Chains A and B, each alone.
Chain A
Amino acid sequence: MKNKRQLFGNLVFAVVVMIAAAAVRADDARDSSPQKEQEQLAVLRSDAPPADKAIACKLLAIHGSKEAVPELAKLLPNEQLSSWARIALEAIPGPEADEALRTAAESVDGRLLIGVINSIGVRGDAGAVELLTARLNDSDEQVASAAAVALGHIDNEAAAGALRESLASGPEKVRSAVAEGCVLCAERYLAAGDTDTAVAIYDEIRNADVPQQRILEALRGAILARKDAGIPLLLEQLRSTELPRFQIALSTAREFPGGKVD
């Protein structure tokens, strides 16, 4: 057994060495300096092959500043390099990267647009609420769904409001993603101490025409947000003849604070 394990270990090591040929040592992550940024920007501005530009994007995620944003933004419509550019743009702090992503969201489409929207969501860009709200009705349901989840990541009332409205009257195919965004909003309200709004959102999801898993997530939230007043709702699920409701009640009971559930 030991010999087999040693052989396997040697094999793994050999494969790692082989793959390392495709890798860049992370040494370049060290010693951040404007000089490092300039070196990578020079690569992006040159006729270097896409492979080199891809790695330059990665290093700009570590060393890039607002100066790198325009060069990275140029790559957002590039099918091969868009995702590499977003690695840097998601990481670079400041409004310039937000603005670049918002601008791109008006010009790219399809999968590239979805990627840009996802990055806007990761950055939680409050300035993108209007743009994303408009996309909730996009004819491409994947784009609309991405916009819904991105709105869920944005911490303001306008984003939550847009999602709640869409939950009630938006396109049916997007409603699952809208509910997902709503749950994210409700969690934030709850964490901020606004229990009433959190409960209201959870209840809206519970009563919406959305997939069962979204209902279960809202049920869990509705029970926990209500604290002791949520126990009747918990018991109702424990008595349910629907297995998924019974199951979510079991796991929610384990999370329930205090001793009353015991």
Chain B
Amino acid sequence: MPIQGTQIHRREFLKSTAAVAGAAVVAPTIIPSSALGRDGAVAPSERVVVGGIGIGRRGTYDLGCFLQQNDVQFAAVCDIKQAQRLAIKKIVDEHHGNENCDMYRDFRELLDRQDIDAVLIATGPNWHATAAMNAAKAGKDMYCEKPCTKNIEQSLILKDTMRRTGRVFQAGTQRRNLPHFAFACELARTGKLGKLKRVYAHPAGMQAMMSGWLPAEPEPDKEVVDWDMYLGPAAWRPFNEKLLDGFNFEKGGGLVGGGVLEWGSHCVDLCQWAVGDCPPPVEYDAPKDGQLVARYDNGVELVFRETGWIPLGSCPVRFEGEDGWVEAGDSGKMVLSSPALLAGRTVEEIGGYPATFHVRDFLDCVKTRAQPKGNADAACNAHIACHAANIALALNRQVKYDNDTHTFPGDEQANRLRSEALREPWRL
């Protein structure tokens, strides 16, 4: 939605007030100069104390981005794998030059700590929504890796929970803070491509699937691998080491998951940004010839397609208007229909990575209480578009989504795929 003039005024006021008053509220009366931020140190009132939940491959990358920020004090790590707990503690302690990073097997103990302001949630996708909502209810802000939800209902509850609890939520959709993707989205959103006709996302796999069991293997000691905690909200199944790859376990959904959600939570998220973060599409056609076409309420098409991309790296997007188009990918490059769209700049000047911008955006919002780029509303809309597309894939037919009721009117089959029970004792 476009920002109204009065809202801009209020937001600007709040941003400046938050930074000043936030510091004033917590500043002690007598403190050393280093603690006040002199001599290059960050004052305690400006530090964000962070804990990590489920820090594996992706999480370690995120952790690096957090540790690059001077105002971050990483205080604790939680992981169901002992080896991972130890590995992350080593990284954090070496960075801070102490032995203070505490380790937990159960994230609820970490959430109980009153000194922790925010958490990095980088578990497997199975856990993201449940951990995020537990964190919010415990009064923590969070940077949560994507896909953030497993189905439509979780997406809606996530959005409502963040609003209700007043917590700052940043989805790990770091491309929202990469300059070249932001530039491309801005071209689309501000009409510089003319009336927008079509936005394209690369789903990297368009096969819906259901997760199942693998043969039982001897379960490790709980201290080494806590299998029960690993399963968490996912329906029970016996231990099998192959399932310990959190990235793929219950990937993208229980009833129906798959590649549309995995990459889509990035690419579709950018498409959503390009269309002004409006509610998700209302129609999703059956897949045909390697692509699936969805339609927004205003007629703009969202096209999931596997092929036909200009080679610009992974996670490409393309936005087409009546007067021009732009395509961008993870290489940091863009191709545009006309050099005039660059308004005198070069693609190199606009620039691409690093992903630290996204972490910085989150930390700034923790302090100002503003909404970060990957906020829960934006993430919710993008995820719903992916889930609805997955349902069209699973049913192999068109489905129609109502953004007012958040249902597929008159379509019981599709509606039954909107949510999935969580394993006991977990709830949202």
Contact = CB atoms under 8 A, between A and B. Distances in A.
Q: Main secondary structure on chain A at its contact with chain B? A: helix
B247 to A, nearest CB: 7
Given A54-B213, A246-B22, A262 B6 contact: yes
A55 to B, nearest CB: 6
Contact of B166 (A27, A211, A217): A217
A33 to B, nearest CB: 11
Interface string B206-217: 011111111000
B339 interface: no
Contacts of A82: 236, 424
B396 interface: yes
B422 interface: yes
A29 B256 contact: yes
Contacts of A114: 424-425
A262 to B, nearest CB: 5
A246 B236 CA distance: 42
Contacts of A244: 139
Q: Main secondary structure on chain B at its contact with chain A? A: loop
A239 to B, nearest CB: 9
Which 9 A-B pairs rank lowest in CB-CB distance, beginning with the nearest? A115-B424, A213-B139, A83-B423, A51-B213, A250-B369, A26-B208, A26-B394, A86-B421, A114-B425
B427 interface: yes
Interface in B161-220: 163-166, 204-205, 207-214
B425 A213 contact: no
B380 interface: no
Contacts of A5: 313-314, 330
A241 B420 CA distance: 43
B314 A16 contact: no
B31 interface: no
Contacts of B212: 22-24, 51, 54-55
Contacts of A20: 209
B25 A246 contact: yes
Contacts of A121: 427
Given A19-B242, A87-B254, A247-B369, A29 B394 contact: yes
Interface in A218-251: 220-221, 238, 240-244, 246-248, 250-251
B393 interface: yes
Interface of B: 6, 9-11, 13-14, 17-18, 21-22, 25-26, 137-139, 163-166, 204-205, 207-214, 235-237, 240, 242-243, 245, 247-249, 251, 254-256, 258-259, 313-314, 330-331, 368-371, 393-397, 412-413, 416-417, 419-427
A64 B283 CA distance: 26
A254 B10 contact: yes
Contacts of B426: 118
Nearest to B418: A91
B249 A19 contact: yes
A152 to B, nearest CB: 11
A261 interface: yes
Contacts of A254: 10-11, 14, 369-371
Contact of A118 (B21, B166, B427): B427
Nearest to A51: B213
B417 A29 contact: yes
A129 interface: no
Residue from B26, B248, B258 whose CB has the most chain A CB atoms within 10 Å = B248
A32 B413 CA distance: 8
A61 B166 contact: no
A111 interface: yes
Contact of B14 (A15, A122, A250): A250
Interface string A170-205: 000000000010010001000000000000000000
Contacts of A54: 212-213, 235, 237
A91 B416 contact: yes
A217 B22 CA distance: 19
Contacts of A55: 210, 212
A50 B214 CA distance: 11
B255 A115 contact: no
A93 B11 contact: no
A67 interface: no
Contacts of B420: 61, 87, 90-91
B424 A15 contact: no
B209 A25 contact: yes
B10 A25 contact: no
Contact of A18 (B205, B242, B369): B242
Contacts of A26: 208-210, 256, 258, 393-394
Given A81-B236, A246-B25, A248-B166, A22 B214 contact: yes
Nearest to B164: A217
A106 interface: no
B245 A19 contact: yes
A23 B209 contact: yes
Contacts of B248: 15-16, 19
B166 A79 contact: no
A174 B235 CA distance: 26
Contacts of A221: 164
A84 B423 CA distance: 8
A132 B58 CA distance: 41
30 contacts: A1-B331, A5-B330, A21-B214, A29-B413, A29-B417, A51-B213, A61-B420, A62-B413, A81-B236, A83-B421, A83-B422, A87-B235, A87-B254, A90-B421, A91-B416, A114-B424, A114-B425, A115-B424, A116-B424, A118-B422, A122-B421, A146-B427, A183-B164, A187-B164, A246-B21, A247-B369, A250-B18, A253-B10, A254-B369, A254-B371
A207 interface: no
A9 interface: yes
B395 A30 contact: yes
Given A62-B255, A254-B369, A259-B6, 5 more contacts: A15-B247, A16-B248, A26-B256, A29-B413, A254-B11
Given A19-B248, A86-B421, A119-B421, A253 B242 contact: no
Nearest to A256: B10
Given A22-B212, A61-B416, A217-B165, A112 B424 contact: yes
